[in-house]
Amino acid sequence: MCGRFALVATGEEVAAHYQLAEVPFIAPRFNIAPTQPVAAVRLDNAGARQLTHFQWGLIPSWSKDPSLGSKMINARAETAADKPAFRAAFKRRRCLIPTSGFYEWQATDGRKQPMHIRAAGGGLLSLAGLWEVWHAPDGGELETCTILTTTPNTLMEPIHNRMPVILDPADYDMWLDPGTALDQLNHLLRPFAPEMLAAYPVSTAVNRPQNDTADCIAPLAE
């Protein structure tokens, strides 16, 4: 699964990476948790990339209970196209979720050691996301999202049995385009190349969402 991640980048770096027309304001986040706002890139009505924010945890449009979103932070890549909660978003509302690294907990000697996984050379990674619009009874709207997960690559296998779908920049247009055929989309939902990632242990401070400082991503002292 993917239940916690970081985004430590400037607005200029995000705008350059995603070829955005405007430079967004990006506040550094070291410990983004479910139900919190997350930055995401989608296509606007004119087909241009835009950066927006979604609440993390997809609430299906048909749900009468918004608390359902807290259980929908991830969607399995193998079944998302068919699941009632995700299939409409999978067809038409896909997004990129920028991250400078994500966390996973590795079972070690009877305890869980948090690990930080980032790009091997540093910089941004893009997680494959889906977004949805939920209409509240009072007429308000809430945009929410989920992160797709897949089987682990060889780097992630010793850490966890799932990993987020990470997209190559060459595939961004195909993923964002609502007209992309489903068989083409499925080709993108594969484990990311292990040599492109690095993993290292970090402090258990990340276990608490209230801890949102650079200490969360600092390598654990040996």
Q: 3-state SS of the chain?
A: CCCCEEECCCHHHHHHHHCCCCCCCCCCEEEECCCCEEEEEEECCCCCEEEEEEEECCCCCCCCCHHHHHHCCEEECCCCCCCCCCHHHHHHCEEEEEECEEEEEEEECCEEEEEEEEECCCCCEEEEEEEEEEECCCCCEEEEEEEEEECCCCCCCCCCCCEECECCHHHHHHHHCCCCCHHHHHHHCCCCCHHHEEEEEECHHHHCCCCCCHHHHCECCC
pLDDT in tens, 59-107: 999 999 899 999 999 999 999 999 999 999 999 999 999 999 999 999 9
Host domain of residue 28: 5-142+150-162+196-217
- The answer to whether residue 117 is domain-embedded is yes
At 137 the pLDDT is 85
- The answer to whether residue 119 is domain-embedded is yes
At 136 the pLDDT is 87
Q: What percentage of the chain exceeds 90 in pLDDT? A: 93
- Residues designated catalytic: 2, 104
At 109 the pLDDT is 84
What total of structural domains would you count in the chain?
1
CATH of the domain at 9: 3.90.1680.10
- The answer to whether residue 178 is domain-embedded is no
In this prediction, residues 7-17 reach a mean pLDDT of 97
For residue 222, name the pLDDT band (cuts at 50, 70, 90).
low
At 168 the pLDDT is 97
At 199 the pLDDT is 98
Please give the mean pLDDT across all residues of the chain.
96
